[in-house]
Structure 1
């Protein structure tokens, strides 16, 4: 196992939750405080960053904090150390703790906040509620000597190419002849400099999702025996996949009252606010972590019986009631489910890379509300 620097740790994180998935324009994601140009052995994972959370990071000897909510959401007019926010930033800098924020990109990511909430609520057959990002699909066509074709196909599949639905290692091969003349200074795989050479080749075609494009091209170049491989890369009209905010799925039928109790138990909250007839039957559920006020119409159009989201406004609750959409509001803080989820995911990814880094879910609650 090796110790990585912060850039490597965040690079691994962004293979899963890249910045391009951010669903809010101007979302202040990324490095907010400090530097990633240093070794990182311990990382605290938290929903919010306050001074108590920074103290927890110091106590656990963490060099990095990964947070869901950005600690600097709006541009600072100044950085006064006699203000609460200034004191927080000062403490991070004094103790050399970097803070990185993954906000709406972590909401959208597969296995991110909304998938974690849907899983906790035991939803099945889940789909994206509000599409915000469509990943492009490419086709790679590469020409290679016949004897090297199988090794290249395996390398491309290993890098993530050739996945179509529930099938992987998909490719198409066409036999043919390749011709080239090596010029002075070349080091040809076969043939002689200045002589026209004919080689028995095959053309291999694979589909490549946008997020895997660079990795696949590197794998292709590394596995190819030619000094200058010939290949084509086309953008396809067919999208690789659609991603976005929220999830919608099914659940074993129950009344709205029983479902509200189910939400309380599974999301570990003391109380929920409910809109709708408590005796109504619930079987299709939409969930969106954080503030989902603007998405009640999306939930209704998607056929949801109930929408689970936080920070519900009074008039939006009335609008939902008029739409015939039931709502269960467990609060914004249920997004803290990401603390354990992100820690587990990053543990897995770092072990795959043989990187020695410990991810610690914060034990502190940053819920500002008390229930009496």
Structure 2
């Protein structure tokens, strides 16, 4: 069975929820339709003419990319222009394009985490916070006979995390009363008669990002026709996610040694380096894409070096004066998302027994060449 386009994207958004994107980022469906069966997904960093030809060659009818094809507003759609020809080719071959950009950067287990792991960065924290989960208190009343069933369903759906503790809840006994009305089909009792039932009150915390999932799991596991529960916001904050990652290296290295690791891990021919090559690097920061504005932030947070792309001349001088090292392997190192995203999505589709194929693009979209 092939997965519908909407199903593929629902799975993709488990990895990179749209609410994690920075404001005004160009994410989501940018071209085509998801109201169709998807035979083959091509995961790409950029959507170029070569990538579209690759999609046509392998029979892919959905491209999931990191960089938008419509980054600036489109005022006209002339097929005489290079971009117009690209859009025309996609439409004629019924290939939809979906973008996961800063939401995939920010996501736990997304691009910046993959990059940090490749460099051996431990105990990762964000360089700049983007999203903090609002927490809600959930209280639900359950007959004692089904207490454990409902409790486990709620906790397995992700409720009950407090700091580094998981599956936290508070459970109290009590007596519930109700009168089933006309037309009801009560699990316990009869229409028109007051019922007194030994019940448990389950209380736990639910992050906003998992609110719908937890409620659905609770309702599915609960035996009652009408479930009595409260859900209200509390003055507490859940986990915070953001751009970039920062932490100590598993093994300290000199700047020169770390530069070689960067070249090997991200498969780049050379890197630009700012700083003393013999300096010992104990704590490192990494940020996919353009990171000039985060150099001094990384320094303020205690990093000895930041690994990021698109560093300009004046930012490099400012970093040098501040005693901050930089390794610039270019913007294109975000290509790490291709195999990682493809592997993740392929596993999700397989778990649900879909036959939709997923392929990481083999096209090199690096625009710079080193001579």
**TM-score if structure 2 supplies the norm length?**
0.97
- Aligned equivalent of 2:133, options 132, 135, 140: 135
| Counterpart contact for 1:66–1:99, Cα < 8 Å | yes
Partner of 1:318: 317
Partner of 1:42: 40
Q: Distance in 1 between matches of 2:275 and 2:120?
A: 22
Partner of 1:198: 196
Q: Distance in 2 between matches of 1:355 and 1:206?
A: 34
Partner of 2:330: 331
Partner of 1:29: 27
Q: Which moved more, 1:38-47 or 1:190-199?
A: 190-199
Q: Distance in 2 between matches of 1:73 and 1:308?
A: 25
Partner of 2:154: 156
| CA-CA distance at 1:166 after TM superposition | 4.6
- Secondary structure of 1:36's counterpart equals coil
| Counterpart contact for 1:121–1:267, Cα < 8 Å | no
- Residue-by-residue CA offset, 1:245-301 (whole Å, 9 max, x unaligned): 000121212221222122112211111111111121111000000001111121011
| Counterpart contact for 1:255–1:278, Cα < 8 Å | yes
Q: Distance in 1 between matches of 2:161 and 2:258?
A: 37
CA RMSD of aligned residues (A): 1.3
Match status 1:350 vs 2:321: no
Partner of 2:96: 98
Q: Distance in 1 between matches of 2:187 and 2:257?
A: 70
Partner of 2:359: 360
Q: Distance in 1 between matches of 2:342 and 2:290?
A: 23
Partner of 2:368: 369
Q: Distance in 1 between matches of 2:235 and 2:55?
A: 46
| CA-CA distance at 1:63 after TM superposition | 0.8
Q: Which moved more, 1:306-315 or 1:135-144?
A: 135-144
Partner of 1:278: 277
- Aligned equivalent of 2:144, options 138, 143, 146: 146
Partner of 1:268: 267
Partner of 2:60: 62
Q: Distance in 2 between matches of 1:219 and 1:111?
A: 24
Runs of 4+ that moved beyond 3 A:
163-169
Match status 1:291 vs 2:290: yes
Q: Distance in 2 between matches of 1:39 and 1:351?
A: 16
Q: Distance in 2 between matches of 1:232 and 1:353?
A: 32
- Residue-by-residue CA offset, 1:40-91 (whole Å, 9 max, x unaligned): 1210000000111000000010010000000110011111101000000000
| Counterpart contact for 1:138–1:235, Cα < 8 Å | yes
> What residue ranges of structure 1 are gaps of 5+ in the alignment?
none
| CA-CA distance at 1:171 after TM superposition | 2.1
| CA-CA distance at 1:364 after TM superposition | 0.7
- Secondary structure of 1:89's counterpart equals helix
Residues 93-242 of structure 1: matches in 2 within 5 Å? Answer: 93-242=91-240
Partner of 1:20: 19
Partner of 2:8: 9
Q: Which moved more, 1:214-223 or 1:327-336?
A: 214-223
- Secondary structure of 1:343's counterpart equals helix
| CA-CA distance at 1:139 after TM superposition | 1.9
- Residue-by-residue CA offset, 1:106-126 (whole Å, 9 max, x unaligned): 110112111111111122222
| CA-CA distance at 1:167 after TM superposition | 4.2
- Secondary structure of 1:126's counterpart equals coil
Q: Distance in 2 between matches of 1:206 and 1:354?
A: 33
- Residue-by-residue CA offset, 1:162-192 (whole Å, 9 max, x unaligned): 2344544332210000011222222222223
| CA-CA distance at 1:354 after TM superposition | 2.4
Aligned pair count reads: 370
